[in-house]
Structure 1
Amino acid sequence: MFSKIVTSALFAGFCAGLIAALVQIVFVQPVLLHAELYEGGDLVHFGADAVSAHPDLGGFDVMRNGLSVLFMALTYVGYAFILVAVMSLAAERGAVINTRTGLIWGIAGFVTWHFAPAFSLPPEVPGVAAADVFVRQIWWWGTVAATGVALALIAFGRSALAWGAAIALLVAPHLIGAPHPDSFTGPVPPEIAALFASRALGFGFATWVALGGLCGYFWQRENANA
């Protein structure tokens, strides 16, 4: 069992990490680079002449993009270990794990790690006003944990009590409320912040669905070869 988890997670996580790196470099990184120009004062939003909405962000940065590929590969291998480990527990209870069901697991992962926290604490570009990072991290991890348990109760619960607890866990972090700054200030145009939030969520959805499908595929293949 352990060898199947390790093999499936390594292959699935590495492949998903490459997909994540490509999506980030093409769609997310340009928005971040644009925001950094405002954060560093190279561009000014209010009280200055109009600037292009599509500035020249320079050429291909081998070092930066290479580190992005490495970071994404390591990150998604870690995600894959978590996902495959939970899949193995579900398989022991009779759940069918394959590429198709893996896609559903990937959507659940996206909801847990991206969508649910973003409902109250959306992805932020550099330079925007934000609450204390430690407080935000505590709220974010609490929301991830509550959402993950809630989705497990929905998927595997067999009583109204389990489903009621799931609903309570889904709602609780947002009723408590995410930490926000006392005032909203910052040099980055709101259009860039909105684009980054939408790109970040789209990035999360695409990569988690890919990760889930790959985990299901490699798990099924390892079982067939066992």
Structure 2
Amino acid sequence: MISAVIFDFNGVIVDDESVHFDLFREILEQEGVIITYQDYHDRYLGYDDAGCFEHVLEDAGQAYDSARIADMIARKGVRYFEVADQGLKFFPDAAETIRRLAEQYPVAINSGALRAEIVYSLERLGLRDRISAIVAAEDAFRCKPDPSGYVQALEALRANRPELNAADCMVIEDSLAGIISAKGAGMKAVGITQTYPADELTRSGADAVIDGLAELTRPWIDATFADVTAR
């Protein structure tokens, strides 16, 4: 039985994957590195800011240290809020779905986004008080596809629900790395086809696939996971 819901953020709640790509490209160009959207989609989407910058620089044969990565993240963060202040796009039914589910389950977020970016959007949607726990880029020990972020989200939810187990948690993810991360943590994973097609999400281990957040109703959840154990 599902007893908690954990959402990814970018590509699930806020429709800003293209914004992040544009900003990654902008900062990397300042560092003398060019990436295409296909590069980002196929190789780097799902990483947090540090992971993306590190892997791109490695692939480009450039050396880096923690100071260089921190500077790149800071510059991208400044630009993100400049863009966000001009208006972010949110996926249809995101606010209503989270508001409705939060009345029935504890709801958490595990994302590679910076905490300030997550809180900014939640406040814009009027959802900050509906979220029981947030694991952001600054909190996670390692980025997706490593499962540690979801393990940390479970630990945070256990502060008020000590009986909660990983198999009781349903994760909503748009990326292949996110699905792998959730399954690695022993949770049930629902892929949403807002970034990758259903067949790729299923091959990555998704227990179920949806096309939109409005499909996440209590009857659907109960029927889908009535006899499913996390595999």
Q: TM over 0.5, yes or no? A: no
TM-score between the two structures when normalised by the length of structure 1: 0.26
Larger RCO: 1 or 2 (CA < 8 Å, sep 6+): 1
Larger radius of gyration: 1
Greater share of strand: 2
